[in-house]
Chain A
Amino acid sequence: MKRLLAYRLVVIIGAIALLEVLCVVGIIDRITMQPPHLIARDLFRLLASGRMNGAIAKTLTNTVVALALALGVGVTAGALIHRLRALRDTLDPLFAAYYAVPVFAFYPFFIVVFGLGDLPQILIAFMLAVVAMIVNTLNGLDRVPPVLLKTARAMHLSPVDTALRLTLRAAGPYLMTGVKLAVAYAFIGIIGSEFILSRGGIGYEISFAYNSFDNATMYPLIVLILLASIVINSLLTRWEHALLTRRGV
């Protein structure tokens, strides 16, 4: 296990070192990309200056709002759809084809209806995230062993008790997979719509820097987003594994 981790580190550090060498030697020119050590330095300066705090706060707030909505609506809708067989049969093709459709195409429509504020972005992020949550809630509920539900009935547990003590625990790991996807999708939704058309946020700052050839701002911001999403994702993955192990899968 330790050895694997060491190899993995070597591969990653090797890749970064390769980039560094290519940049310094000049095979990748300065207009295309800055060497990694400069990006790291610029990122540190950018964060220390506090210039981006507003943009970061805006993007994070919108993401969290969209995510909270998607999780709440997703789990509720998933539980409802799970009960209604006919509705589920009808919606199944929609779920299967949903992520093949570029949701961003609806962004201009939302801007026209709701104005150029935070709401259209939150809606896009919500639309991307909610279906992942619904699908994984359904998947989780499918995998609750029927014997548990029978036991609950035999013991005359109330529906709330059954949900909290049995269903939620048994479906937990699959819900976690949904949460993980929803986080990624909410992030993509907010940043993507900031790219297309917005008045602030990290995505806006990146596209602004890109349009003014300001690599010293653009690369650090991109790296910041990548780092944030990698850290969040690995934390959630770890939690997911813990839940799976506890359930004994």
Chain B
Amino acid sequence: MRAGRLHGMRNGLLLGAVLVALWQLVYWMVGDTALSSPTATLRYTAQLVTREDFALHLQDTMRAFAIAFVLSVVIGLLVGFWLGVDRLSGDVLEPVIVTVYAIPKLTLYPILLLAFGLGLSAKVAFGVLHGVIPIMLFTVSAVRNTRPILLKTGYALKLSRPQLVRWILFPAALPEIFSGLRLGFSLTLIGCLLAEMFASQRGLGYLLMTGMGLHNIALVMSVTLMIVVFAGAASTLLLQVDHRLHRQHS
């Protein structure tokens, strides 16, 4: 276990080093017009994070992301449990949801903009649109795959429906639900950032688009770097929890 974690950390560090080396190499190849070097980007980032307007952008993104993720989790779990427990609704609706999952949701952004206007609600809606479906689908399959013996025990103990969900279905389905949450986390973040890129006047995504528009490469690179580091760190952490939950169960 400990050795495994050390091993994982070494791999992560190695990967990071290789990526930075690659970045430096590409920088040497293409030069200042297209790329800022790792050190220059770090310097710019250090300067950027102390700026007052940056704090506002960051806050905006974080607020939208937090609301969107909470909504995705709540809606995803509710619908997931409903479709998982009620066989008929599940059989009817699950394929429809799977299909919706596969469509390029980016194309829907003009509709969301028209419906929600520029601002927080459009970002949240776009985040939820991306994040809610994996949570739903994983919950449905987790609930359905609960071992029948567990449910029989619940019936034998004469548990009520809410008790059955609280004490049997939820704990049994937790590892798989967590996998859904992990995916939902990343996708909600992407959804919010994309909404900011296309349809917003604040937030990190907006900062990216401004950087592109003004040809401010250092700005684009340092925002990208921050997003990559945050997303990478968060998803690595969630993956570890995920693995541990799955191990405990099996």
A108 and B232: CB pair below 8 A?
no
Interface of B is mostly: helix
Q: Which residues of A contact B102 (CB under 8 A)?
A: 180, 184, 229-230, 233
Number of A-B contacts defined by CB within 8 Å: 133
A100 and B235: CB pair below 8 A?
yes
Query: B142 an interface residue at 8 Å Cβ cutoff?
Result: no
Q: Taking CB as reference atom, which chain B residue is nearest A209?
A: B110
Interface residues on A, range: 35 or more
Query: A204 an interface residue at 8 Å Cβ cutoff?
Result: no
A197 and B212: CB pair below 8 A?
yes
Q: Taking CB as reference atom, which chain B residue is nearest A28?
A: B115
Known pairs A90-B14, A92-B11; A105 contacts B107 (CB<8 A): no
A113 and B15: CB pair below 8 A?
no
Known pairs A12-B96, A94-B15, A101-B232; list 15 more (Cβ under 8 Å).
A4-B92, A8-B93, A33-B115, A89-B7, A93-B15, A97-B235, A101-B231, A102-B193, A105-B220, A191-B104, A192-B106, A192-B194, A203-B107, A229-B103, A230-B103
Which residues of A are interface residues toward B (Cβ below 8 A)? Answer: 4, 7-8, 11-12, 31-33, 89-94, 96-97, 99-102, 104-109, 112-113, 180, 184, 187-188, 191-192, 195-197, 203, 206-207, 210, 218-219, 222, 225-226, 229-230, 233-234, 237
A sample of 6 inter-chain contacts (CB < 8 A) reads A104-B194, A105-B208, A195-B109, A197-B212, A203-B107, A230-B103
Which residues of B are interface residues toward A (Cβ below 8 A)? Answer: 7-8, 11-12, 14-15, 18, 30, 33-35, 88, 91-93, 95-96, 98-99, 102-104, 106-111, 113-115, 185-187, 189-190, 193-194, 197-198, 205, 208-209, 211-212, 215, 217, 220-221, 223-224, 227-228, 231-232, 234-236, 239
